[in-house]
């Protein structure tokens, strides 16, 4: 048990040092793995995003079978990107809940909390969801982490805007990072 806890701590800090929201990073990893090992029966209904993710990243045999089943079923309709409709959105939602509980539990440890406060990254969406899972007394630290990440995003956006006004269009990755901060990494959330 001790070793397992240690491994989880290592994984949360190693995810966090990638300079991306740790929940976004965990969800992306989960989704990549899910797509890679997709079986023909794993997905009957799917949304636009997951249709394309399967087409681009799923095992060809499974995805062809999934698409054939859908096309040959006259009642098949594209799903909205919600867990009640899309089978893969549903898997992502369950994983997110599991991860949120895990992070909230780990944040009860002062050392990890202060490390995350100083060096961690959370997007706005996931930051608020983490806060929602925490007891009142532990919320301030994560609120400060979100404020720091928010201020960093504002600063790079303002710099970028200034350069655009001066006629330079370099550094478009700034907009992608701002989108990531606001709505989470592409394809990890609906």
* 6 or 36: CB nearest Zn ion: 36
Residue of the chain from 21, 54, 103, 146 that contacts Zn ion (CB under 5 A): 21
Using left for φ > 0, alpha for ψ between -120 and 50, and beta otherwise, residue 92 falls in alpha
**Rounded to an integer, what distance in angstroms lies between the CA atom of residue 29 and that of residue 156?**
27
Min dist CB 18 to Zn ion, Å, is 12
Residue of the chain from 63, 126, 134, 160 that contacts Zn ion (CB under 5 A): 126
Total number of residues that touch Zn ion (CB under 5 A): 12
Residue of the chain from 15, 16, 23, 43 that contacts Zn ion (CB under 5 A): 23
- CA distance readout (Å), 150 to 10, 16, 147: 25, 16, 5
Residue numbers 42-101 binding Zn ion by CB under 5 A: 47, 50, 81, 86, 88-89
Using CB under 5 A as the binding rule, whether residue 123 contacts Zn ion is answered as: yes
Using CB under 5 A as the binding rule, whether residue 184 contacts Zn ion is answered as: yes
Q: What token pair was written down for 85? A: 């409709």
- CB contact at 8 A, 27 and 99: yes
**Rounded to an integer, what distance in angstroms lies between the CA atom of residue 69 and that of residue 9?**
42
Min dist CB 36 to Zn ion, Å, is 17
Q: DSSP letters of 68-107?
A: HHHHH-TT--PPPSSTTT-HHHHHHHHHHHHHHHHHHHHT
* 55 or 161: CB nearest Zn ion: 55
Min dist CB 167 to Zn ion, Å, is 33
Using CB under 5 A as the binding rule, whether residue 104 contacts Zn ion is answered as: no
- Measured between its terminal Cα atoms, the distance across the chain in Å is 35
Min dist CB 76 to Zn ion, Å, is 15
* 82 or 161: CB nearest Zn ion: 82
Residue ranges that bind Zn ion, judged by CB under 5 A: 21, 23-24, 47, 50, 81, 86, 88-89, 123, 126, 184
């Amino acid at each position: 048990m001790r070793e397992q806890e240690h491994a989880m701590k290592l994984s949360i800090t190693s995810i966090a040092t990638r300079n991306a929201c740790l929940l976004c990073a965990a969800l992306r990893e989960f989704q990549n793995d899910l797509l890679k090992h997709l079986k023909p029966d794993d997905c009957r209904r799917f949304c636009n995003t997951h249709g394309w993710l399967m087409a681009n990243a799923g095992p060809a045999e499974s995805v062809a079978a999934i698409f054939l089943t859908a096309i040959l079923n006259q009642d098949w309709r594209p799903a909205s990107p919600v867990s009640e409709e899309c089978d893969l959105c549903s898997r992502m939602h369950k994983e997110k809940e599991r991860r949120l509980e895990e992070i909230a539990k780990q944040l009860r440890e002062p050392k990890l909390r202060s490390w995350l406060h100083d060096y961690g990254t959370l997007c706005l969406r996931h930051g608020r969801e983490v806060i929602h899972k925490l007891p009142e007394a532990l919320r301030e630290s994560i609120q400060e982490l979100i404020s720091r990440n928010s201020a960093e995003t504002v600063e790079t956006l303002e710099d970028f805007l200034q350069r655009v006004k001066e006629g330079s269009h370099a550094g478009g990755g700034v907009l992608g990072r701002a989108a990531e901060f606001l709505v989470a990494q592409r394809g990890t959330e609906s």
